Amino acid sequence: MSDFNDWNANIIREFRSNRGNVGGQFAGATLLLLRTTGAKSGQVRTNPLVYTVDGDQLIIIASKGGAPTNPDWYYNILANPTVTVEVGMEQFQARAIVPAEAERTRLFDQMAAQMPNFAEYQRNTTRQIPVVVLERLT
């Protein structure tokens, strides 16, 4: 297992052990766990991600810290948009939607205003960082 996978596994364990709260660099952050189905492997994958809220929807950003490529979970949601979300002690199914450009920019700017690291990530890459809307399924 890579160092990054170990790091994620530790955050996921801490999240689930502490009712959605974690320490370290994510202390006080709004954090969710996104469970996707692998685009190629079909295996279930879980990623901890910060989020913001827009109305009834949760907003996440596929920044990968400003890397030149999108994170794997982004390709998973493109192939399999029905996901499972964990927020605090709540777990629910959602549909992952990639918004069109005007909405993408509005949501990205809204999140970057709350979490300036995202603006820095965009400056560090030539790709346009995707925004994803998580719409709860009833």
pLDDT at position 116: 95
DSSP percent split of the chain into helix, strand, coil, nearest 5:
35, 30, 35
pLDDT at position 94: 98
Give tens-digit pLDDT for 7-35.
899 999 999 999 999 999 888 899 999 99
Q: Residue 59 corresponds to which amino acid?
A: I
Give tens-digit pLDDT for 75-130.
999 999 999 999 999 999 999 999 999 999 999 999 999 999 999 999 999 999 99
What's the predicted TM-score (pTM) here? 0.94
**What's the topology of domain 3-136?**
Pnp Oxidase; Chain A (2.30.110)
Give tens-digit pLDDT for 111-126.
999 999 999 999 999 9
Closest residue by Cα to residue 96 from 73, 118, 113: 73
